[in-house]
Amino acid sequence: MFPTSGLRLSAGGTLLAVVTAAAIGLLLVGGVQEQNFSAASQAAGRRPTGYAQLVSSEPLPVLDGEICQWVPASAATTLAASLQQTAAGDRERGTGSVDLDRPPVRVLKDANPTFSAIAVEPESNMLVMTDENLFRVMEYDRRDNTPPQARLTEPKRTIGGTRTKAEMVCGVYIDPKTQDTYVVNNDTQNWLAVFSKNAQGNAEPDRFLAVPHGAFGLAVDEERQELFITIQHNNAVIVYRKAASGEEEPLRELFGDDTELEDPHGIALDIQRNLLFVSNHGHGRYRERGGGQLAIGRDPEGENRSARQFLIGSGYFAPPSITVYSRNAEGNVAPLRIIEGPKTRLNWPSHMAVNEQRGELYVANDIDDSILVFRVTDHGDVAPTRVIRGPKTGLKNPAGLALDLKNQEVWAANMGNHSATVYPMLANGDVPPLRAIRSGAADEPSLLIVNPGGVGYDSKREELLVPN
């Protein structure tokens, strides 16, 4: 979580964004030398400032009345005094106890699973999806198809509970030989868990591995028996033995300013061409000279240690991108190529997969409600060769993506409408899915409350504001 930037309303009706030093990092704080920054970042026009600065100024639209109904300081003081007087009276009378177990007046919650990541194993028709809303892992038959009049399709099995070490599960992989399911947690658990094909309910993992906080994407190199994981908050990719467990250290790490990893999410491998692809949301921070080392183990209090030494206040926003490296990349190495720019349509690119036979990269493009297809050789500001997008597709905030090369199908897990949808491998444009699996009614949108970091209330519009 990041602290919220301060917002101030000037007398002239202009909104001034004043960012705190601990915020996402638009300010650089004193004494930072420019040579600490990567050459690529300098070329992009990013420079240290050495002092606080105004980030933006934007005129507000003319509205009828105040934007928010402010409570005068005098009224707040009177209210506080009244509450204190009431509490003092309660103490004198021996009353004023509060029943903390009383139910809330109302609850705003999505009761349905929210699909976030997806994996398919076509030989056994095994389809696994993760649910970030109810903290579950669910298996379906890839041939399932929820009828339009039905509310949902029941999963073949469900894994979930306090013993599973699985909560906000963002990445999933199915072992093609054993049908074991690998899942990685993001914001609330620092574990990768492995479950057998028979595990269900509140089952302990067959094996688990301590990983840095903020793990998201997951890919496996079966040829070399290696496990690749993206780490959002540390802007890194770490590689383990596929069979790693406990507090085992990684085989190698990809991190540093020159890598241009900026809030990495999805990850995909092209074994045939020896390539590694990473999708980035575009949030970066610069590291101190030397970069620091990633500590994977546990400290005496049992907390996962994953902090690197970043320059305080050195954060920046960059365009979303896909960075391409050698499969063997290690340390602070620059990408071989970068796919980035307005023509790409990238907008929160998430999970990805490579069709090595066709030399194509498939990308779940979350905020654009689309699936993008690029050539694995693409570079720069290039348009996708194909785009699956439109009202007929049923795509809504697709975060998960998987390819079924045997049946020539591409799957999407849609966080925005409780569904997983599947299309022909060569689909293009506004095409309806071949099949859809739903975990909720077709007319029931997802609330998308999966990681609420706070809540606000707009008294003017009587709206709740929930950042995720």
- Read off the pLDDT of residues 286-306 as tens digits, 9 standing for 90 and up: 987 654 444 444 444 444 344
**Domain shared by 53 and 129, yes or no:** no
Residue 298 DSSP class: B
The radius of gyration computed from the CA coordinates of the chain, to the nearest angstrom, equals 24
User: CA-CA distance, 35 to 55, in Å (whole number)?
Assistant: 23
Strand order in the sheet with 14-18: 6-9, 14-18, 56-59
Contact 140, 115 (CB under 8 A): no
Tell me whether residue 104 is in a domain. Answer: no
- β-strand partners of 432: none
**210 φ, ψ (degrees, to nearest 5):** -75, 125
C-alpha torsion angle, residues 44, 46, 47, 48 (rounded to 10): -150
The confidence score (pLDDT) of residue 68 equals: 57
Nearest CA among 379, 381, 263, 238 for reference residue 316: 263
Extract the tokens encoding 347. 């907008």
User: CA-CA distance, 321 to 453, in Å (whole number)?
Assistant: 26
**Domain shared by 245 and 336, yes or no:** yes
Tell me whether residue 333 is in a domain. Answer: yes
How many helices (H) and strands (E) the chain has is answered by 2, 31
**Domain shared by 180 and 247, yes or no:** yes
Other Cβ atoms closer than 10 A to 358: 15
- SS3 state of residue 123: helix
Nearest CA among 412, 363, 414 for reference residue 385: 363
Extract the tokens encoding 182. 């690998």
| pTM of structure | 0.79
Tell me whether residue 23 is in a domain. Answer: yes
Which residue segment(s) compose the domain that 212 sits in? Answer: 115-438
In residues, how long is the chain?
A: 468
pLDDT tens for each residue of 83-102 = 666 666 666 666 566 566 77
**Domain shared by 25 and 131, yes or no:** no
The confidence score (pLDDT) of residue 28 equals: 35
- Start-to-end Cα distance in the chain: 9
**Domain shared by 364 and 223, yes or no:** yes
Tell me whether residue 69 is in a domain. Answer: no
Contact 153, 132 (CB under 8 A): no
**Domain shared by 119 and 55, yes or no:** no
What CATH number did the domain enclosing 221 receive? Answer: 2.130.10.10
User: CA-CA distance, 89 to 385, in Å (whole number)?
Assistant: 72
For 188, residues 6+ apart whose C-beta sits below 8 A from its C-beta are 167, 168
**Domain shared by 232 and 309, yes or no:** yes
User: CA-CA distance, 460 to 51, in Å (whole number)?
Assistant: 36
Tell me whether residue 422 is in a domain. Answer: yes
User: CA-CA distance, 205 to 249, in Å (whole number)?
Assistant: 19
Alpha helices in 6-96 (DSSP H): 39-43, 73-93
Nearest CA among 158, 166, 162, 160 for reference residue 182: 166
**Domain shared by 55 and 121, yes or no:** no
User: Which residue numbers in the chain have pLDDT < 70?
Assistant: 1-58, 60-100, 289-308
> Percentage of the chain with pLDDT > 70?
75
The confidence score (pLDDT) of residue 346 equals: 98
**Domain shared by 222 and 342, yes or no:** yes
Tell me whether residue 110 is in a domain. Answer: no
**278 φ, ψ (degrees, to nearest 5):** -135, 130
Q: DSSP for 52-72?
A: ----EEEEPPP-SS-SS-PPP
Tell me whether residue 151 is in a domain. Answer: yes
Tell me whether residue 152 is in a domain. Answer: yes
- SS3 state of residue 325: strand
**Domain shared by 46 and 135, yes or no:** no
**Domain shared by 37 and 150, yes or no:** no
In the chain, how many domains are there?
A: 2
**Domain shared by 54 and 199, yes or no:** no
**279 φ, ψ (degrees, to nearest 5):** -95, 135
For 228, residues 6+ apart whose C-beta sits below 8 A from its C-beta are 217, 218, 219, 220, 221, 237, 238, 239, 267, 269, 276
